[in-house]
Structure 1
Amino acid sequence: MRKDTAFWKQLKEEMIAAAPELGIDKLRVTTADPFLELKEQLVRHRELGHESGFEEPDLDLRTEPALIMPEARSIIAIAVAYPSKMKGAPVSEPGKRRGILSRSAWGEDYHQALRRRLTKLAEWIMERVPEAKLMSMVDTGALSDRAVAERAGIGWSGKNCSTLTPEWGSWVYLGEMITNLPLPPDQALLDGCGDCTLCIDACPTGALVGPGQLNAQKCISFVTQTKGIVEDEMMAKIGNRLYGCDTCQIVCPVNRKIDTRHHTELLPDPEVAKPLLRPLLTMGNREFREKFGSSSAAWRGRKPIQRNALIALGNFRDAESVPDVAAVLRNDPRPVLRATAAWALGRIGSPEAVEHLRDAQSSEKDDEVLSSIARALSL
């Protein structure tokens, strides 16, 4: 690739100009240098026990692009804006209570949406530089999407641990492409949060332990994606969230009045993004895939969603759902769901709910479920 600096500068300018036609809302470039400051942060994060468990465990892979592509010279960062408001949202009412998916799970699974755009970008580059080497990643890659985006100037690092863009706030999906092309890098943006701490103050569980510092073990977004039994105190704070949590983004002043709707595949289906809770309890795998399979919320399967639906019904104290919740406690083969159903019945607290708990106490064999029943009866 014997091309001069002017060629790479021109290629980058043309790439940025072509981005909207490729479905990309913002494109910037950074070097493939190691992310040394990020590595220090990740080491401290691990030492404090604040990881979620979903991350790439190798900190070197997360911070050294050359380990992923030895020829790496640049990283292209992209952002795609998604909607923050739901038009025609169905009403949650007694007997027909509804849960909610976080905005990042509305519409088409963003992994697919961004991979499609990165594929188009790769084709655009290869037409002009056939010898280019390219490697794309979206969320599940080793590199930190946010660290790449922030060093490339897509946005700055918000105190809520989101990347905040001047144009679309934090309502953006991020992806990147490592390449051997020596593209000129962009400058990082200055911090735009100032003295604001609204996100930290609003976090329901105190998971934001400091500006840009998240204890994932306490974060509702991460907890809703786990598969085990959730602590009682945490369940009470989950509310009706079925997947993810948007609180720290909703209160952010940068995000106010931003609602980007020009990518139609990312618009929410209200019946998917805000589904009825009771039907979820008896939903089989096939029906779950048909309803939620195109959403990023489906990646952990139906069990977390069903568990979170039980939590939501308990938090609504929805007495009309007692027969449905009791059926889970009585019949479901999964101890996690039976234990959660017991908590939900205790939270509802009606005479009918208490009667079901006492009946289950006499027949249940699992120790954790029995413990949950006992706590529920003491509420």
Structure 2
Amino acid sequence: MNYHDFKEEVIAYSKEIGIDKIGFASADVFSELKGRLIRQQENSYQSGFEKGTVEERTEPSRLLPGSQSIISIALAYPSKMKDAPKSKKGERRGIFARASWGRDYHDVLRDRLNKLGAYLQEHFPEVELKSMVDTGELSDRAVAERAGIGFSGKNCAIITPEFGSYVYLGEIVTNIPFPPDEPVDDSCGDCNICVDACPTGALVQGGQLNAQRCIAFLTQTKDFLPDEFRTKIGNRLYGCDTCQTVCPKNRKKDFHLHEEFEPDPEVVKPKLIPLLSISNRQFKETFGPISGSWRGKKPIQRNAILALGHYKDETAVDELIRLMNEDPRPVIRGTAAYSLGKIGNEDCYKAIKDAIIKEEDSKVIVEMEKGLEFELQ
């Protein structure tokens, strides 16, 4: 088989099925990445969501024996929302990060990868392949960088010449020896805007992320949010876009190429107070189709409670008092008490004082005490 010609056929087919960009890389060991991952572990910079060992994440042959190349794909997503509702007094809203707008990208990219894989099998019967999106062992960014999709920016995102960093990534490891593409030159240069703009200093230096400080990670945790980050998340319910929105390479980048990625404004910019009483069934029906729902409703509700405290929204007081007194989840009770303290009217402090007498969970009591400290400031 002429692999160069077959590569051109695969590229042409990828356009037919709605893949915005495709690149080809060798399946060699990702040696530089291996060193970086080891340093990440040593510095405790990992999120804990990573899959596989360092070797599995950097040696494609461990995932597919006999692998010879990796096909990397990218699909662009919008950076601007049409008809975005306004957050106003009495109707404060939270926000999901752009990467969670529209239908869960894992499903959309898997569909494209499955079609691409079927095409390979049809034309190359001896093909072996393994595809993955985001939750696989390989680093989507490292593969995309090697395959010439874009360069890895200081904000730790792949930046493409065409779409900026607003792209989803996926890959197929295969035993077909496709000719590799050339990497794209890094063009961040001296620009350090993203590093300086990160609200929590999670970008330790250009291209290195301390995931434990990253708001995108923190919004997905289920425990009490550490104190130092509570004033930083603002009204974010899931994820963070700061390091992308400030990037000059993303200026005027807004692509609406896939209907699946178009956001429902009421879903990705929802009113905060209704989130506090939403049932599991309602949550699944409303938010289940988007990627930001994967951790369930508890982190979203915790973040919504913090956002209401951030806004000092007095219209939320009754609902927060109800949660503080009645919710069976300690994280929700305690966070509600903290935000009541931030809102800080007489009803808030009286409710906390009444509740703390009956509370039995030591961690919740600590949060109630934090809430009462605002009365002294």
TM bracket (short chain) = over 0.9
1:9: which partner in 2? 4
1:377: which partner in 2? 372
Question: Take 1:149 and 1:93, find their aligned partners in 2: how far apart are those partners?
Answer: 41
2:256: which partner in 1? 261
Query: TM-score if structure 2 supplies the norm length?
Result: 0.98
Question: Take 1:334 and 1:16, find their aligned partners in 2: how far apart are those partners?
Answer: 51
Is 1:20 aligned to 2:15, yes or no? Answer: yes
Indicate which of 239, 242, 246 corresponds to 1:247: 242
Indicate which of 56, 64, 81 corresponds to 1:69: 64
Indicate which of 319, 325, 329 corresponds to 1:334: 329
Is 1:367 aligned to 2:368, yes or no? Answer: no
Query: TM-score if structure 1 supplies the norm length?
Result: 0.98
How many residues align? The count is 374
User: Offset of 1:233 from its aligned partner?
Assistant: 2.0
Question: Take 1:77 and 1:41, find their aligned partners in 2: how far apart are those partners?
Answer: 21
Question: Take 1:148 and 1:305, find their aligned partners in 2: how far apart are those partners?
Answer: 31
Aligned pairs for 1:305-316 within 5 A: 305-316=300-311
SS state at 2:169 partner? strand
Is 1:358 aligned to 2:353, yes or no? Answer: yes
Q: Say which is worse superposed, 161-170 or 8-17, in terms of deviation.
A: 8-17
CA offset digits 1:87-117 (Å, max 9, x no partner): 1011111111100000000000000000000
Question: Take 2:368 and 2:248, find their aligned partners in 1: how far apart are those partners?
Answer: 43
2:77: which partner in 1? 82
Question: Take 2:278 and 2:341, find their aligned partners in 1: how far apart are those partners?
Answer: 23
Question: Take 1:73 and 1:82, find their aligned partners in 2: how far apart are those partners?
Answer: 30
Question: Take 2:315 and 2:303, find their aligned partners in 1: how far apart are those partners?
Answer: 18
SS state at 2:72 partner? strand
SS state at 1:378 partner? helix
- Contact 1:232-1:343 within 8 A present in 2 as well: no
Question: Take 2:4 and 2:258, find their aligned partners in 1: how far apart are those partners?
Answer: 29
2:212 partner letter: Q
Question: Take 2:252 and 2:342, find their aligned partners in 1: how far apart are those partners?
Answer: 36
Is 1:130 aligned to 2:125, yes or no? Answer: yes
Q: CA RMSD in A?
A: 0.8
User: Offset of 1:360 from its aligned partner?
Assistant: 1.1
Indicate which of 333, 339, 343 corresponds to 1:344: 339
User: Offset of 1:326 from its aligned partner?
Assistant: 1.1
SS state at 1:85 partner? coil
2:57 partner letter: R
User: Offset of 1:130 from its aligned partner?
Assistant: 1.9
1:164: which partner in 2? 159
Indicate which of 290, 296, 307 corresponds to 2:291: 296
Question: Take 1:355 and 1:87, find their aligned partners in 2: how far apart are those partners?
Answer: 43
2:89: which partner in 1? 94
Question: Take 1:319 and 1:233, find their aligned partners in 2: how far apart are those partners?
Answer: 23
Question: Take 1:217 and 1:373, find their aligned partners in 2: how far apart are those partners?
Answer: 25
SS state at 1:28 partner? strand
Question: Take 2:212 and 2:36, find their aligned partners in 1: how far apart are those partners?
Answer: 17
CA offset digits 1:313-346 (Å, max 9, x no partner): 0111101111111111111000011111111111
User: Offset of 1:280 from its aligned partner?
Assistant: 0.7
Question: Take 2:184 and 2:272, find their aligned partners in 1: how far apart are those partners?
Answer: 42
CA offset digits 1:9-36 (Å, max 9, x no partner): 0111121122221110000000110101
User: Offset of 1:308 from its aligned partner?
Assistant: 0.6
Question: Take 1:278 and 1:319, find their aligned partners in 2: how far apart are those partners?
Answer: 11
CA offset digits 1:133-157 (Å, max 9, x no partner): 1111000100000000001110001
User: Offset of 1:192 from its aligned partner?
Assistant: 1.2
Aligned pairs for 1:105-116 within 5 A: 105-116=100-111
Stretches of structure 2 lacking an aligned partner (at least 5 in a row): none
User: After TM superposition, which residue ranges in structure 1, 4 or more long, deviate above 3 angstroms?
Assistant: none
Using the aligned pairs only, state the percent identity.
56
1:174: which partner in 2? 169
- Contact 1:78-1:174 within 8 A present in 2 as well: yes
Question: Take 2:326 and 2:190, find their aligned partners in 1: how far apart are those partners?
Answer: 52
Is 1:280 aligned to 2:275, yes or no? Answer: yes
